[in-house]
Amino acid sequence: MASLYEKIAKNHNHESGPFHTILKSIKQKYRAGMSGDFRVLDLAAGHGEPSSMIAKEFPNAHVTCTDISEDMIALAEASTVYLPNVTVSLADMADLQFESNSFDLITCSYGFMFPEDKNKAISEAHRCLKDGGYLMATTWNKLPFMKFTADIMTEVLGETPPPPPLNPMSLSEPNLFENMLKDNGFQDVQSYTSTYPMIVSSDHELKFKTLTMLVKDKLDEVDGWDKARRAFDALSEKYITVDEDGTCLVDGNTFKLTVCRK
Ligand SMILES: C[S@@+](CC[C@H](N)C(=O)[O-])C[C@H]1O[C@@H](n2cnc3c(N)ncnc32)[C@H](O)[C@@H]1O
């Protein structure tokens, strides 16, 4: 799962993707630089982004790169080992082990959709931020990628599947995340949307595994792999565009960057 996610996550390096968008927002907010002992906490950093980008761009800042998964933490450690201003740490964003008022900036790319208690995760970020510190978080608005997976599962199950237990779309309803942030004490809440394509492997098997990554357990449970493969083959043309050079793309993935202040 972690290594498959790492392959998808390469797409997020797109100029219009979450990492560069967060970086641009940091540069806007901290034009005057980051003075003194500037501490950044990156939540749900997966394989180590945007931690690495921030640490490279702002060598004076200290970045604490965190995730709940030991597999992800191993990847994050490997990808940041050459950066002296990064510390990698296992952390549940809904139950942070850090002191209150201890970070100048908190970032989170595609993380707040996953904790069961999202309000607790938001209140933990608020607690750990210093007064006046910013939270910058990206969440998905549209994910044709997931619609493809849902269509495959409709074929397998014979009915529309429920959302997966880890649902990347759980904060896609307009204003839902913004209102949760306000309810937890954040101010000056502003959101910006951006769209970028996802390149999927041209290797058939890898493409299939990537598209069924989030429903792997359900397919095991219902013994649905053969049906899923047939549905994947039948639906591929609807969702996957093939460029002149043979690159396979799922287009129209739209996310939101939300920036707010404690
Ligand atoms: C979609 S990945 C995002 C990774 C990276 N930030 C990126 O944008 O590519 C979501 C990450 O959230 C992590 N995660 C899920 N629940 C979490 C929680 N309660 N606390 C911290 N991390 C969590 C997962 O382990 C996974 O690495």
Residue 126 has pLDDT above 80, yes or no: yes
Residue 101 has pLDDT above 70, yes or no: yes
Ligand 1 centroid – CA 224 distance (Å)? 27
Which atom of ligand 1 lies closest to the CA of 93?
Answer: 20
Nearest partner of 179 among 258, 96, 105, judged by Cα: 258
Least confident of 69-78, 82-91, 164-173: 164-173
Residue 160 has pLDDT above 80, yes or no: yes
Q: Which band of pLDDT confidence, cut at 50, 70 and 90, is reported for residue 34?
A: confident
Domain ranges (residues) in the chain: 2-142+165-197+251-261
Highest average pLDDT, of 24-33, 118-127, 248-257, comes from 118-127
First to last CA, the chain: 35
The correct answer on CATH 2.170.150.20 for the domain covering 2-142+165-197+251-261 is: no
What pLDDT was estimated at residue 142? 94
For ligand 1, say whether the CB of 115 is within 6 Å of any of its atoms: yes
Alpha-carbon distance 262 to 259, whole Å? 11
Residue 146 has pLDDT above 70, yes or no: yes
Please tell me the residue having the least CA distance from ligand 1 atom 8. Answer: 109
Least confident of 43-52, 71-80, 85-94, 192-201: 192-201
What pLDDT was estimated at residue 4? 66
Ligand 1 centroid – CA 67 distance (Å)? 6
Residue 92 bridge partners (DSSP): 95
What pLDDT was estimated at residue 1? 63
Q: Tens digit of pLDDT for each residue in 204-216?
A: 888 898 888 888 8
pTM score: 0.91
Please tell me the residue having the least CA distance from ligand 1 atom 15. Answer: 114
Cα 173 to the center of its chain, rounded Å:
17
Residue 2 has pLDDT above 70, yes or no: no
Ligand 1 centroid – CA 108 distance (Å)? 8
User: What token pair was written down for 160?
Assistant: 């529309």
- The percent of residues above 90 in pLDDT, for the chain, comes to 72
Say how many C-beta atoms besides its own lie within 10 A of residue 128's C-beta. Answer: 24
Concatenated DSSP letters for the chain? -HHHHHHHHGGGGSTTSHHHHHHHHHHHHTTT---SS-EEEEES-TTTTTHHHHHHH-TTSEEEEEES-HHHHHHHHHHHTT-TTEEEEE-BTTB--SPTT-EEEEEEES-TTSSS-HHHHHHHHHHHEEEEEEEEEEEEEE-HHHHHHHHHHHHHHSSPPPPPSS-TTTT-STTHHHHHHHHTT-EEEEEEEEEEEEEE-SSHHHHHHHHTGGGHHHHHHTT-HHHHHHHHHHHHHHH-EE-TTS-EEEEEEEEEEEEEE-
Nearest partner of 212 among 200, 70, 140, 253, judged by Cα: 200
What pLDDT was estimated at residue 3? 65
Do residues 101 and 91 make contact, with C-beta atoms less than 8 angstroms apart? no
What pLDDT was estimated at residue 59? 92
Pick the more confident residue, 148 or 6.
148
For ligand 1, say whether the CB of 92 is within 6 Å of any of its atoms: yes
Residue 133 has pLDDT above 70, yes or no: yes
Q: Tens digit of pLDDT for each residue in 243-257?
A: 888 788 888 899 999
Do residues 76 and 55 make contact, with C-beta atoms less than 8 angstroms apart? no
Pick the more confident residue, 238 or 99.
99
Pick the more confident residue, 26 or 10.
26
Averaged confidence pLDDT in the chain: 93
